[in-house]
Structure 1
Amino acid sequence: MMVPAALLLLGALAAVVAPRLLARADWPDREPVLALWVWQCVVAAVLLCCALSMTLSAAASWQALHGHLFAPAPRSVVQAYAIGTAAGPWAATTAVALACGGAWTAAMLVREVVRTRARRRLRRAELLVRAPLLPGEEPGGRLVVLEGERCDAWWLPGTAPRLVITTAALRRLERRQVDALVAHEEGHAQARHDWLLHCSAALAGGFPQVPVFAAFRDEMHRLVELAADDMASRRFGRLTTALALVEVNEDRGVFGPGPTPQAHVPQRVDRLLAPPDRFTAGRRLRLTAAAALVPVVPVLVAFVPGLRALG
């Protein structure tokens, strides 16, 4: 039974090669939204390879599952997959290993959700202490002005999302710079970037030795910021957005001297001040369609023997 092995080989190849190809490409910084889509398609393809390989391996090893999976299939299809004839002990081992990997992935996702909710509850409690409700004020306001000496703003997602901005930011930034800062955070919220960050963190935390998952997490943190920068700059201009970014981060030492933990901030400012050429609409459409076909490849590999037998 070669299909599960082919799917595993395809998934491993994508997990190793795709991060290297995307790392060498120069276009993700030009089209961060498109790059986010490509990364999601690649990761979905890897996960599909594992899921389909697990299903077919389990069907080859256990008659009960084989009966449910291939019950409506003609005899020629069953023979095309060589179910029950070429399956050896490796099929059961593969199915169990992949099932354990799937259960571990689900556990990591649950852990990430639980940790995220705990962090949000803690931040909301701290926010309520620092900015208590006034008598008669109803909770749930989307904008919270927080007394603080540091120029900052952030989006607090959840069932009642809030945009928090400090008084130092209101004093230091000009009106359009404040609007650009707010638009940046609203861009994160509208695109639900928090979900991307949580999923990538769960996969990278659960499988730290898989290159595609580690690169997926790192690139998500970078690309979502570039995408939000573009959203803000389209409304308020690149210069205004860059100045707002400088004002917010200037006191944090991210502009040197020497290496800093947030070295991506100067790169974002340079990108806003000297924007790279964007793709044409046609090229973006072609790349979007090509990326959407990537998760289809494992499905085709899994179904080609059956379709060939029927044809």
Structure 2
Amino acid sequence: MMLPAALLLLGALTAVVAPRLLARADWSDREPVLALWVWQCAVAAVLMCCVLSMTLSAAVAWQAVRGHVFAPAPRSVVDAYTLGTAGPWAAALATALAAGGAWTGAMLVREVVRSRKRRRLRRAELLLRAPVLPGEETGSRLVVLEGERPDAWWLPGPEPRFVVTTAALRRLKGRQLDALVAHEEGHAQARHDWLLHCSAALAGGFPQVPVFAGFRDEMHRLVELAADDMASRRFGRLTTALALVELNEDRGVFGPCPTPHGHVPQRVHRLLTPPDRLTAGRRLRLTATAALVPVVPVLLAFVPGLRALG
């Protein structure tokens, strides 16, 4: 049966072609939320191809798996998949794909554990720098730290907190501070931390797969652009841009030498440039097309059964 091999070939083709097509797209910076959705659909399609190929290969190789997968199916459907023609490759392919799935799960668990460890360390640092005073509420979502450098960040977790330094409070006035808070709230509401965890886990486990590496690299940029847009919709593009400048100008990000925050000038320029969004119709078409990409391997897997029923 060639269907598992065809699914695996489709997954490999998607993993190579999808990042190239997305890299050539001229709308990703203008529509970061849509770009995030398209990337997720491409990754989901590759994973779906692997899962379906593993399932069908295991059904070909082992009678026990076949009984569970095709238990409710009519006899004509089972015959259409030619499960009795098991080759020596079926068990090996199913085992290899199952090992890849287990490795992916292990990478995700490792990433979550590391993230929780980092959060615990940062919370311990917060408690040391800003101890809870007698009579003060312990569940406060706002933490103000003494600091000479303007900085602010959202600390996710069971008790999420917005942390801001006194230098940032001195620099950011009125709506600029509100825009900064809205930016961090945008990260929290969209659960961007989980997107970053998943992309890091996939790229860390399979660094040679182009779609996973591209997914990780683009996530860090796109989540910032999406949060910028959320803040600018509430407080204006100019206010949000000024807040970014005030928060980062002491870090040397606007100079000629590259820095870890080198993407900030591009974000500021984007906010100051008049928005050139896609039309609603094109956004809808791209969203629907991306949603169909993970459906293609499912339809391919069901073709023999549908033909038998038809």
TM range (shorter): over 0.9
The CA deviation at 1:262 is 2.4
1:177 equivalenced with 2:176 (yes/no) = yes
- Structure 2 counterparts to residues 1-311 of structure 1, below 5 A: 1-85=1-85, 87-311=86-310
More displaced 10-residue stretch of structure 1: 258-267 or 290-299: 258-267
**Structure 1 unaligned regions, length at least 5:** none
- Which secondary structure does the structure 1 equivalent of 2:260 belong to? coil
- Which secondary structure does the structure 1 equivalent of 2:121 belong to? helix
> Given the two structures, how large is their TM-score scaled by the length of structure 1?
0.98
Give me the whole-angstrom Cα distance separating, in 2, the residues matched to 1:229 and 1:71: 51
- Which secondary structure does the structure 2 equivalent of 1:165 belong to? strand
Give me the whole-angstrom Cα distance separating, in 2, the residues matched to 1:308 and 1:267: 52
The CA deviation at 1:268 is 0.5
The CA deviation at 1:244 is 0.7
> In the alignment, residue 210 of structure 1 is paired with which amino acid?
V
> In the alignment, residue 132 of structure 1 is paired with which amino acid?
P
The CA deviation at 1:66 is 1.1
The CA deviation at 1:223 is 0.3
> Given the two structures, how large is their TM-score scaled by the length of structure 2?
0.98
The CA deviation at 1:254 is 1.2
More displaced 10-residue stretch of structure 1: 133-142 or 153-162: 133-142
The CA deviation at 1:13 is 0.4
Give me the whole-angstrom Cα distance separating, in 2, the residues matched to 1:299 and 1:33: 25
> In the alignment, residue 142 of structure 2 is paired with which amino acid?
L
Q: How far does the alpha carbon of each residue in 1:157-190 deviate from its partner, in whole angstroms, 9 at most, with x for none? A: 0000000011001111221111111110011011
The CA deviation at 1:260 is 2.6
The CA deviation at 1:70 is 1.6
Give me the whole-angstrom Cα distance separating, in 2, the residues matched to 1:258 and 1:189: 31
Give me the whole-angstrom Cα distance separating, in 2, the residues matched to 1:224 and 1:128: 28
Give me the whole-angstrom Cα distance separating, in 2, the residues matched to 1:297 and 1:257: 46
Give me the whole-angstrom Cα distance separating, in 1, the residues matched to 2:278 and 2:4: 38
The CA deviation at 1:301 is 0.5
Give me the whole-angstrom Cα distance separating, in 2, the residues matched to 1:217 and 1:74: 43
Percentage of matched positions with identical amino acids: 86
More displaced 10-residue stretch of structure 1: 226-235 or 253-262: 253-262
Give me the whole-angstrom Cα distance separating, in 1, the residues matched to 2:117 and 2:225: 27
Give me the whole-angstrom Cα distance separating, in 1, the residues matched to 2:129 and 2:71: 63
Give me the whole-angstrom Cα distance separating, in 1, the residues matched to 2:252 and 2:67: 64
**Structure 2 unaligned regions, length at least 5:** none
The CA deviation at 1:258 is 2.3
Give me the whole-angstrom Cα distance separating, in 2, the residues matched to 1:62 and 1:144: 57
What's the Cα RMSD here?
0.9
Give me the whole-angstrom Cα distance separating, in 2, the residues matched to 1:90 and 1:276: 53
Give me the whole-angstrom Cα distance separating, in 1, the residues matched to 2:276 and 2:286: 16
Give me the whole-angstrom Cα distance separating, in 2, the residues matched to 1:138 and 1:305: 62
More displaced 10-residue stretch of structure 1: 71-80 or 6-15: 71-80
